[in-house]
Amino acid sequence: MRATMMYVHDLQIRLSPQSASYRPLTSNLSSTNAKSRKKPAAVTRKCARCSRQRAKFGRFYLSCDRYNPYFQKRKRKDAGFTANFPALQLLHDPQTFGEKLYDLLQRYDTRFSLDHKILIIQLMARVTALHQLSILGFYTYVLKYLTHHQLRAPTILASLAESAHALTPPDVLIPAIRKLAHEFVHPGVGPEVIAAGLNAIREICRRQPWAMEDDLLGDLVAYRKSRDKGVMVAARGLLQLYREVNPAMLKRRERGKLASMGIKDNGPTPFGYVDKPAEDIEGLVVSLFLSVSWIGLGYAPP
């Protein structure tokens, strides 16, 4: 016991500032002397290399920035990044391929698991959106999965919104939007469910604005006064969308000044109409050129 007390007393003397052997327990990085702060050699070499590359190539060519997610996202945004699916873009007959996928879903509906069905739904939605196909039975098939208690409901909602495009008839999308509003947007569910339903409806209507009804739009826009921030933002996004694409469907007090002026200037284009009529059939010139080439060689065109 006495030896321990003597050791502690000796240690206190050594650690006291008045002692000659006192040395502050500070590192080089936290020292107050700027000259004593020394960085590791690897960090110094990396900073020097980055400085040379910044001076030579500019900011976005740095090797240290190349793997930063923030700079990757910024570069994609500046370059107008779009999804690239070469395997889907090079399909020979996309309409037939989509119809086979739909027949596969219907035929093995009871045999496939939910994960298998969702994979096929995601593939069909992506092909439909990429080639603007018309597989009308798909939207009727998805209706039974549009419930707030459905497993993997966000994935199904995302696939449904992705499958809609400008050439989808509004008549087949209106039942889906009604089902979404009935199952997801009502006071009996939580605010997260309401926000998810409003966001899904907004994304569908962004691709096909004529799929919305006037009365239903007024009820959905009324959620912009909700106390929950997610619900309020989702409802305001839907309101802002129809202020841009079709303000005539909104009430007069909900349109805003700019949208009211836009109604007088030019209204939205109805479904089935285009601003510029078609002048040619895609691929017709190439087909005629190949036929003439075969005839010139003395063969029958394939």
| 232-262: pLDDT as tens digits | 999 999 999 999 888 888 888 888 777 666 6
Q: Is the CA virtual torsion 175, 225, 251, 210 positive or negative?
A: negative
* pLDDT at 30 > cutoff 50: no
CA atoms of 43 and 126, how far apart (whole Å)? 45
- pLDDT: is 176 or 267 the higher one? 176
Which pLDDT score is estimated for 35? Answer: 47
3-state secondary structure of 17: coil
Amino acid at 11: L
The predicted model scores a pTM of 0.67
* pLDDT at 138 > cutoff 90: yes
CA atoms of 13 and 21, how far apart (whole Å)? 9
Rounded mean pLDDT, 163-188 = 95
Write out pLDDT tens, residues 79-126. Answer: 554 556 788 888 989 999 999 999 999 999 999 999 999 999 999 999
CA atoms of 259 and 266, how far apart (whole Å)? 11
**Cα diameter, the chain:** 116
